[in-house]
Amino acid sequence: MRVNLNADLGESFGAWKMGSDEALMPLINSANIACGMHAGDPATMAQTVDTACRFGVSIGAHPSFQDLIGFGRRPIQMQPRDIELLVLYQIGALQAIASARGSRVTHVKPHGALNNMAHDDDAIARAIAKGIRLADPNLIFVANIGSAMVLAGRQSGLTVALEAYADRRYDANARLLSRQRADSVIDDADEAAESVVRMVESQAIFSVDGQRIASPIHSICVHGDSAHAITIARTVRTALEKRQIDLVTLPQLHLEGGDSP
């Protein structure tokens, strides 16, 4: 039994620092690296790639809407074709930097509002998948379980890694509970770890009202934006290791590719 732990990193920008990349990197297997549109700059990207390499963490692009002031968290209406090019631009920039540091980009996970919008919007999900495939058809598309991105990725011929969250709760339709709800987030580290182990061992997610929704669980997203988040990540990792669940990079999952497009 194996699973991947992924996290968003490299979200500093110029003089502004964000996240605890050094603390988080030893805990995860795959890093989603900001590419300059919501966070990240060439120097931060190179440094994050180097840190990832040092810890044997595989590298992914974390493309976003072009919105520094909103940190890519604000929904922005764009034409699918422009989203495809926006994603492609960001992957290309990271590919060049990763290659120069002796590494390479092996996955892509959309950031923030772009990810949220692509959860339900087929056209956006397809545009992202197309941008990924144009950058490199061997890239793994990390997609939320139950999202439109899963089908869009597969139909584009991409390998799709199904992702669940360590610290979020789901409804009966496999959707994340809205952050408006008091019970949307799992704050307790032990509870998060228990939830993750249960998901991985059951290959299913569980809704707050007790439903079991079967799904492969390829990757678990953890966060590193606070000391508490680091504690959750560490607790999750330790719990998985105790259960002899292998923690592997996304390429090491050896997932099968999607349909030939």
* Among the listed residues 30, 51, 64, 90, the single contact to a copy of itself using CB under 8 A: 90
Under rule CB under 8 A, residue 71 binds a copy of itself? yes
* Region of 2-10, 64-72, 194-202, 235-243 interacting with a copy of itself (CB under 8 A): 64-72
- Residues in the chain, overall count: 261
* Region of 96-104, 117-125, 137-145, 196-204 interacting with a copy of itself (CB under 8 A): 96-104
Q: Please, what is the Cα angle at 77 between 73 and 83, to 5 degrees? A: 85
- How many residues touch a copy of itself under the rule CB under 8 A: the total is 44
* Among the listed residues 26, 53, 70, 252, the single contact to a copy of itself using CB under 8 A: 70
* Region of 33-41, 120-128, 138-146, 201-209 interacting with a copy of itself (CB under 8 A): 33-41
Residues 6 or more apart from 99 whose CB is under 8 A from it?
none
* Among the listed residues 22, 54, 81, 231, the single contact to a copy of itself using CB under 8 A: 81
- Per the listing, tokens 């990810």 go with 115
231 half-sphere exposure, CB direction, 13 A CA radius: 9
174-205 burial, b for 16+ CB within 10 Å, e for fewer? bebbeeeeeebebeebeebbebbbebbeeebb
Q: Which residues bind a copy of itself (CB under 8 A)?
A: 12-18, 36, 39, 41-43, 45-46, 66-71, 73-78, 81-82, 85-86, 88-97, 99-100, 134-135
